[in-house]
Structure 1
Amino acid sequence: MTSDRTDLPVLVIGAGPIGLAAAAHLLERGLEPLVLEAGPSAATAVRDWSHVRLFSPWAELVDAAAERLLTPTGWTRPDGAGYPTGGDWVERYLRPLADALGGRVRYGARVTGVARAGRDRIVDADRERQPFTVHVEHPDGREERLPARAVVDASGTWSTPNPLGANGLPALGERAAADRISYRVPDLRDPAVRARYAGKRTAVAGTGASAFTALAALADLAEEEPGTHAVWVLRRGLTGSTYGGGAADQLPARGALGLAAKAAVDGGHAEALTGFRTAAVERAADGRLALVAEDGTRAEELDEVIALTGLRPDLSFLTELRLALDDRLQAPVALAPLIDPNQHSCGTVYPHGARELAHPEQDVHLVGMKSYGRAPTFLALTGYEQVRSVAAALAGDHEAAARVELTLPETGVCGGAGRYDEPAADRGDGCCAIPATPRLITLGAPSAGGSCSPGGGC
């Protein structure tokens, strides 16, 4: 089957912030997008962490092409100085954007495979002339195959959290203890979630800002619910740098979270278990859990475990495409050196686009958080620049695709509200100024788990 592919849509996987922005840019370029979302509504992943506050203000969370699409509908841009929660982001921007795209967004459409029509990954002959075939599964079990001229995968990493096991695989017994293990920052405003952790002994595994957020939330809970205690499980030792830069951090919100985690430990609401590399999870006769390290060290009498050890991309439905991925980060090989977390923070990653996101399989691009593989420091602004460039490349405007239209200051663009913003500023109405120096306040809504939100935008 060979054909002129120009009459086919560009298929976008995922109706999150970056996928919807990609559709807006494609439309501006005269290309017809078709967005497939596995969930029942737009930004399903963001809705899962609707209680989390982003580190970036509204000014950095609205894509330019998306705004141009929304403005004729009567949409009003939120005040740029406010800091939304995930729920705010959905209701005030992402849902209206999906509505503006209309039938170009399909829900309950889970992509299970992508390939060249009539060609598995082995076949060279006439490969680039073939359209893509995208296999889709619906909630009722119905399957279909959709043709596409190009594929933009913006499905993110939210659905595939890293396991507890220090070797990257689930620890022995981890799956069997799934009823006591969570891989998300808990929403302690939910009565059922609050009851799960109130008065309980909870292990928190991880050293990123998501772990800091959970520790701070549990410390706040301990002030109201006696017996609430956290065991902070770290693979490394505990040093001053473990908590980040504190008040001197170039990212104030990240610094504030580090200070909150330190306060939880110093205040006796959490104890740090260092050098602990989890190998097994065991269940005692009373139903409580124990974590067992590779060296035999044990953390016992645990009621719950919160594993916040990062996320990874789901590549299972892309196996018939020829992708060039870094063997360590699982990011495009040209992008990987730019985002290595050992070398870069979100503010030092060079803006990049279609060239760095290219693969041997022509007209396939992984964008957004998924493009970062296992690297954690992704920014919404970076994703918007990615899809602007990719849309230009697919439209044949290679000059625009190569042009950098985003500048990130070395201090990052994540310097936002985090845990220390004034309650009035939470409304995003711009009525109050953000303090220049981090200061801790009582937790109202958890802050984003990392220099970016759990959903990959910040």
Structure 2
Amino acid sequence: MSVSSKDLPVVVIGAGPVGLAAAAHLAERGLRFVVLESGPGVAAAIDEWRHVKLFSPWRYDIDGAARRLLEQTSWIEPNLDDLPTGGDLIDAYLAPLAKTPQLADRIQYGAQVIAVTRVGFDRVRTAGREDAPFLVRLADGEELLAAAVIDAAGTWRRPNVLGGSGIPARGETELADAVSAALPDVFGRDRERFAGRRTAVVGAGHSAATTLLELGELAETEPGTEVLWVVRGEDQARTYGGGDADELPARGALGARLKKLVQSGRVELVSSFRIEAITRTTDGRAELAAGDRRVVVDTIVNSTGFRPDHDMVGELRLDLDPILGSTRQLAPLIDPNQHSCGTVPPHGVDELQHPESGYYAVGAKAYGRAPTFLLATGYEQARSVVAALAGDWEAARDVQLNLPETGVCSSNLAFGGSSDEAGGCCGPAPEAVTISAPAGRGLATGISGGLLTVVESKPTTQSGCCG
């Protein structure tokens, strides 16, 4: 007996902030849905960096539909001007949201999606394709049918490689045990890995800067702790910011602290170093090679950013930008060579559509390799997509964003580096700017000559990126 897609739920992949926002909007619209989370609890990826403070204050980190569900409970809203840690985001927002009556019984944990396709259709077959339900297969063999799929799986599980040419360096795979993920808990669970040891942090974004500052502080109390900062570019102006003259005081303070560490010698800067090979030394350490240059360390922290995993949807018909891996229509709106996280124009279901009707990637995965993602942007993507699934195309195309406009997220390419090295994180931002436009239209963004210029921005205590 055939199954009509109209009788099936929408499957949301991922119970992180954007996945749960999509679920909240689906609940408000009265649509059937199920959320599949690979981890043991909500936002399992964020839980791995729960010690890290976000660059966005709470006002940008709470989705509207999610807030409305929470307000029906005893939930107490955090101070909207405070900066939450990853742990705060889970404990004070996402965990209570997942327990609301509208969501609690719709989330499956330990449900790792390994494939999404159409029932009876591979990528080649066309006739009748749009009428066939989606087939979602889990790692344990369970299969679910779906009317539509909202893929909010994120990119955390797929870090960029260390190799300087976009592919793994020779030996990188074999020495995986010597590589730490981005944003390690230097003062907590990972302390023993770094204390009294020699570490190379690879990458030039704010996540790299955060780790370097923590390692520099650790070195003050743990003798023998050595810190190297390995980057592909020559000029670290983007990471340092403007110091005391920076129009964004908090960003300037972050950059100034790091610059001071480098100048003092407590952090050794190794620039113009494009990693070609990683080998094991006779004493068990890791040796990084770039031409004739060598760096020997105990541990490598990969802070080079992330990329999307499209393997599990390989049998769907996707129209991906060949550079970023986002949808082709979205790519020029989020291009890190031209945009910061705060100058990305409004976009929604129209820019997120693939030839495979009913499949949408939202959140960080929607951005592919672009490090210009904001939680607020992901929330608006989810709202727009769910409105379209509900048949409310007027609401779906009424896309509005309230973003903290900033030049912090502009690509390293402007300074001779690599966008991969940006690591997908941004610094504090000036006053928020509300922008709106029908989906499919771009806006003027203050880009000139490939470099971002911020116009009429006023510093505030609010921060703005990479929720």
- Work out whether residues 3 and 129 of structure 1, in 8 Å CA contact, stay in contact via their aligned partners in 2: no
State yes or no: 1:315 paired with 2:310: yes
Match of 1:114 in 2: 116
Query: Which deviates the most, 350-359 or 237-246?
Result: 237-246
Rounded to whole Å, the distance in 2 between the matches of 1:36 and 1:126 is 27
How much does 1:290 deviate? 1.2
- Work out whether residues 392 and 398 of structure 1, in 8 Å CA contact, stay in contact via their aligned partners in 2: yes
How much does 1:242 deviate? 4.6
Query: Which amino acid in 1 is paired with 2:136?
Result: V
- Work out whether residues 428 and 465 of structure 2, in 8 Å CA contact, stay in contact via their aligned partners in 1: no
Q: Deviations over 1:124-148 (max 9, x none)?
A: 010001111111123xxxx111110
Structure 1 vs Structure 2 CA RMSD: 2.1
Match of 1:172 in 2: 170
**Change beyond 3 A, Cα 1:256–1:375:** farther
Rounded to whole Å, the distance in 1 between the matches of 2:278 and 2:298 is 12
- Work out whether residues 164 and 170 of structure 1, in 8 Å CA contact, stay in contact via their aligned partners in 2: yes
Match of 2:347 in 1: 352
Match of 2:105 in 1: 103
Q: Which of 287, 291, 295 matches 1:290?
A: 287
Query: Which deviates the most, 252-261 or 320-329?
Result: 252-261
Greater RCO (CA < 8 Å, at least 6 residues apart): 1
Match of 2:148 in 1: 150
Query: Which deviates the most, 334-343 or 258-267?
Result: 258-267
Rounded to whole Å, the distance in 1 between the matches of 2:59 and 2:239 is 30
TM-score of the aligned structures, taking structure 2 as reference length: 0.85
State yes or no: 1:231 paired with 2:233: no
**Change beyond 3 A, Cα 1:174–1:19:** same
Query: Which amino acid in 1 is paired with 2:389?
Result: L
Query: Which deviates the most, 387-396 or 174-183?
Result: 174-183
- Work out whether residues 251 and 412 of structure 1, in 8 Å CA contact, stay in contact via their aligned partners in 2: no
State yes or no: 1:281 paired with 2:281: no
Rounded to whole Å, the distance in 2 between the matches of 1:345 and 1:247 is 22
Match of 2:34 in 1: 34
Rounded to whole Å, the distance in 2 between the matches of 1:361 and 1:2 is 20
Unaligned 5+ residue runs, structure 2? 409-425, 430-458
Match of 2:215 in 1: 218
Rounded to whole Å, the distance in 2 between the matches of 1:242 and 1:284 is 31
Query: Which deviates the most, 263-272 or 359-368?
Result: 263-272
State yes or no: 1:243 paired with 2:240: yes
Query: Which deviates the most, 89-98 or 398-407?
Result: 398-407
Q: Which of 235, 259, 263 matches 1:262?
A: 259
Rounded to whole Å, the distance in 2 between the matches of 1:220 and 1:337 is 40
Among the aligned pairs, what percent are the same residue? 55
How much does 1:311 deviate? 0.4
Q: Which of 370, 380, 383 matches 2:365?
A: 370
- Work out whether residues 132 and 149 of structure 1, in 8 Å CA contact, stay in contact via their aligned partners in 2: yes
Match of 1:433 in 2: none
How much does 1:204 deviate? 1.0
How much does 1:250 deviate? 5.7
How much does 1:257 deviate? 2.7
Count of equivalent residues = 419
Query: Which amino acid in 1 is paired with 2:158?
Result: T
- Counterpart mapping for 1:340-419 below 5 A: 340-411=335-406, 416=428
State yes or no: 1:124 paired with 2:117: no
Q: Which of 136, 139, 156 matches 1:137?
A: 139
**Change beyond 3 A, Cα 1:382–1:117:** same
**Change beyond 3 A, Cα 1:437–1:133:** closer
Query: Which amino acid in 1 is paired with 2:209?
Result: F
Rounded to whole Å, the distance in 2 between the matches of 1:76 and 1:13 is 27
Secondary structure of the structure 2 residue equivalent to 1:298: strand
TM-score of the aligned structures, taking structure 1 as reference length: 0.87
Q: Deviations over 1:332-391 (max 9, x none)?
A: 111111111111111111121101100000011000000000111211110110011001
Unaligned 5+ residue runs, structure 1? 418-435, 439-447
Secondary structure of the structure 1 residue equivalent to 2:116: strand
